[in-house]
Amino acid sequence: MRSGNPALRDNTFSNAALSGSGQTMTISGAVNKTFIMGLFVLIAALWSWSEPWRFMPFFMPICLGSLIVALITIFRPQTAPVTAPIYALLEGLLIGGISFFFERRYPGIVIQAVGLTFGTLFALLMVYKSGLIKVTQNFRLGIIAATGGIALYYLASLVCSYFFKFQVPLIHESTPLGIGFSVFVVIIAALNLVLDFDFIEQGAQMNAPKYMEWYAAFGLTVTLIWLYMEILRLLAKMSRR
């Protein structure tokens, strides 16, 4: 099993199954935990949206804290019942603050991005459950390769911007190529949802321990936040044209 999402990597469920005991993971349990994670994200986002100026001085520490919590969760899945909700709260603070400033510049953009994100989630879930998309090994490898390439491109952009004051093309441009790049990233982010659905389903079939429901919810939340931010970026680019 493999997912493009780094949180749902190879052997996560199988390793957990070997070390777990007692109650086992279920799909409904993972769905419920994902819903709870979504509520945590929403509560924190509403707070930072209402207090954006108080939030801004803590932007970088929250980013760093979110990254650290995510890494702890990824490498020690048994901590997910504690770390996954913390991650959701931290990411909610980031999303709320960022969304506020996008909304100020492009009124109405946030509700569009939220609607498109959840519309994509439910549409792909229906397509996956209907069997129209088969998660084959080649499909997995293609999405993983594309996701890794995007991550490296973004990392290069961050390094060039911070150390060399140079903007890597396409990421921030509202040109046809820049918009096309964002459309591509949104598609890859959306297809990662399909891999996540498949990964969670297989985890339940393998009788992974109960705490993996929180870990699965964490992985799906990571993908949804990425998808939302990429849709927000795409809509902003299109509004600038």
Q: What is the pLDDT of residues 119-154, one digit of tens each?
A: 999 999 999 999 888 888 999 999 999 999 999 999
Query: For residues 80 and 73, is the Cβ–Cβ distance under 8 A?
Result: yes
Residue 104 and residue 107: Cα distance in Å, rounded?
A: 6
Domain that holds residue 222: 13-240
Tell whether 156 is covered by a domain. yes
CA angle, 212 as apex, 92 and 77 as ends, to 5°? 75
Burial category of 187 from C-beta neighbours within 10 Å (exposed 0-12, middle 13-18, buried 19 and up): middle
- Number of structural domains in the chain: 1
Q: Is the dihedral of CA 9, 208, 92, 90 positive or negative?
A: negative
pTM: 0.89
Q: Describe the crossing of helices 176-205 and 12-19 by its angle, rounded to 10 degrees.
A: 30
pLDDT of 12 reads 64
- 1 pLDDT band, cuts 50/70/90, is very low
Q: Flag whether 114 is in a domain.
A: yes
Cβ neighbours of 142 (radius 10 Å): 14
pLDDT beyond 60 at 11: no
**pLDDT, mean over the chain:** 89
For residue 58, is it within any domain?
Answer: yes
Q: Is there a domain that residue 6 lies in?
A: no
Domain membership flag for residue 2: no
Residue 216: CA count within 13 A, CB half-sphere: 30
Q: Is residue 104 part of a domain?
A: yes
Is residue 60 domain-resident?
A: yes
Burial class (CB in 10 A: 0-12, 13-18, 19+), 76: exposed
Token pair, residue 215, equals 């870990």
Residue 166, C-beta contacts closer than 8 angstroms, at least 6 positions apart: 160
1 in any annotated domain = no
Q: How is residue 85 written in tokens?
A: 């909700």
Q: What is the pLDDT of residue 162?
A: 73
